Amino acid sequence: MAKRFGGKYSPDGSPVDQPAARRVEVDPVGGRANVLFIPAIPLVFMSLNDGAQGLALGLAAAGLLTGAALMLREGLKAEAAYRVRKVAERPAIPRKMFASFLTGAGVALAAYKNDPGLIAALIYGVAAAGLHVSAFGIDPLRAKGMEGIDSFQKDRVARVVDEAEKHLTAMREAITRAGDREATDRLIRFQTTARTLIRTVEEDPRDLTGARKYLSVYLLGARDATVKFADIYANTRDAQAKADYLALLDDLDKNFAARTQKSLLEDKTDLNIEIDVLRERLSREGVRLD
């Protein structure tokens, strides 16, 4: 099926035809982590002719190495989510450290299968775990950006932000089924606006009360609307359904931007009040600020 392309300089070009500023998302896992799934495969085949004990040890070692690779993938994803946020708790489970331990255990067991000696197996295991730590590091061990915030407020912010990010991810996955560039670009612009509000709440959890409705109720409704639009448009290419969906995104974008602006203005008002109070206190001490 032929696809018509438009743009800024097309005869019927319009602002919505212009490419959106995309939020580049890099896979935090990468090839280095994926390649760690490979060693378990030859280890299994090499153990098939080693008798019952050799086969059992080989399968156990392969299982440990595969588990380490899976744990590392999740650890890298958790670390990426931690680093992208200005306010974040440390990962609840140190997955990368567990992956290093499992890698060392798997290598030690594989070495013991070929050379039954505890000292040699231990040396190989410790070396493998050390190299794993050198290559991938350890998990974040401390919370960041939460000085002066009580644990209850931290938990509230973390729950709302996690829920909001899940909704945004579900919307991005759903819109791909529609196969429409304009709708995809418009959704990306809205997600950029929504994430600006999310970052604002993370930086100042006092904004959570006013923004919670936007990050939970409104985003949940936007997610459901995106899923329904993608299902309908993928089958019918209904122009009216697309127009209604784009209008919804326009309204949501304006409301989210207004909420963010209100939060910033409230922060500026609070700052001005603090400055006035400080000026008054300094004036009482005989210090004048011109």
The predicted model gives 43-71 an average pLDDT of 91
* Separation between Cα atoms, residue 106 and residue 248, nearest integer Å: 53
CA neighbor of 73 nearest in space, from 103, 41, 45: 103
* Separation between Cα atoms, residue 263 and residue 257, nearest integer Å: 10
Digit-coded pLDDT (tens) for 220-251: 888 998 999 999 998 889 889 999 999 989 88
CA 256 to chain centre: 20
Cα angle 56, 62, 63; round to 5: 90
Neighbours of 46 (CB within 10 A): 15
For residues 144, 145, 147 and 148, what is the CA-based torsion angle, rounded to 10 degrees? -140
The predicted model gives 129-151 an average pLDDT of 79
* Separation between Cα atoms, residue 184 and residue 170, nearest integer Å: 13
Structure tokens that stand for 39 in this block: 């060693």
Structure tokens that stand for 21 in this block: 């500023």
Q: Phi and psi dihedrals of 285, rounded to 5? A: -85, 5
User: What is the full DSSP assignment across 155-206?
Assistant: HHHHHHHHHHHHHHHHHHHHHHHHT-HHHHHHHHHHHHHHHHHHHHHHH-GG
For residue 287, is pLDDT > 60? no
The pLDDT score that the predictor gives to residue 86 is 67
* Separation between Cα atoms, residue 229 and residue 180, nearest integer Å: 11
Q: In sequence order, what are the residues at sequence separation of 6 or more whose Cβ sits closer than 8 angstroms to the Cβ of residue 48? A: 55
DSSP assignment, residue 126? H
The pLDDT score that the predictor gives to residue 90 is 77
- The residues spanned by each domain of the chain are 30-136, 148-284
**Residue 12's pLDDT band (cuts 50, 70, 90):** very low
